[in-house]
Structure formats: C-alpha cells, structure tokens
Amino acid sequence: MGLLEDAATWLTTQREECLSVPITYRFKNGGSAELTATIGRTLFRAETEYGTTIRVESRDFLVSAVNLAEAPQRGDRIVHDGRVYEVLAPNNEPVWRWSGPQHVAYRIHTKEIGAVS
C-alpha cells in the first residue's frame, strides 16, 4: 500500500472514531444494518425553465464502504436520532458518490421524511 492509501485509511479510521454517530440503514428490500456514519451535506443547484436557480440541500451520511453490504440505492432509508431520511438526490443525480479518491466511504445523499413511527 502506498503513502496516500495509508493516509486515507488512517483518516477514515479517525473520522469513524471521532466524528461518527450510530445509524440504522434500512434497505428497500427489507433488510437492515446497524452502522456508524459521519453527517455532512451537499448543496445541489438546478435551473428552472424560467431561469430561476433552485437550491436543494441534502443531508449526507458518510459510511465506510466495507461496512455496507451493497451500494446505496434510491428508496433505502437511514434512521438517525429519531428521524428517518430517504436515500435520494434531486435532478436525477446519483444518490451516492465516493468520498475521496481512494473509494473507502460512500457519501449518501438523503432527504428527511419524518420521525420514526
């Protein structure tokens, strides 16, 4: 492993140990997993047919790729701190992207849809 890969692994470990919170990841097929994630955000911008710019902010969850059994999919849900977030992104954007060039964590885009029932 090279210097950059070692540094990325160390940084991921530090993020998980110091900044992560517990979440429940619910797959749309019915399965679930107890994980830790770091909370972030992404600002999406889109232009309407009238030329106005709309800004949409996503609540993001950064999850270690080795801890999630399969890639996130639209319609999956994340439960954190009594709130439910649906995995989705505006403007037909992908619902997740890699966080960092070493592909060690998913950055999962979500929208809050309500309280845990």
Contact 102, 5 (CB under 8 A): yes
Q: Is the pLDDT of residue 1 over 70?
A: no
Which of residues 1 and 55 earns the better pLDDT score? 55
For residue 12, give the 3-state DSSP assignment.
Answer: helix
Give the whole-angstrom CA distance, residue 99 versus residue 94.
13
Q: How many CB atoms lie within 10 A of CB 76?
A: 24
Q: Is the pLDDT of residue 28 over 70?
A: yes
Q: What pLDDT is stored for residue 75 in this prediction? A: 97
- Give residue-wise pLDDT tens across range 30-77: 899 999 999 999 999 888 889 898 898 999 999 989 889 899 999 999
Which of residues 17 and 96 earns the better pLDDT score? 96
Q: Which of 35, 39, 17 has the alpha carbon at shortest distance from 27?
A: 35
**What is the distance in angstroms between the CA of the first residue and the CA of the last residue of the chain?**
46
Contact 67, 99 (CB under 8 A): no
As assigned by CATH, the class of the 3-115 domain is mainly beta
For the chain, the structural domain boundaries read 3-115
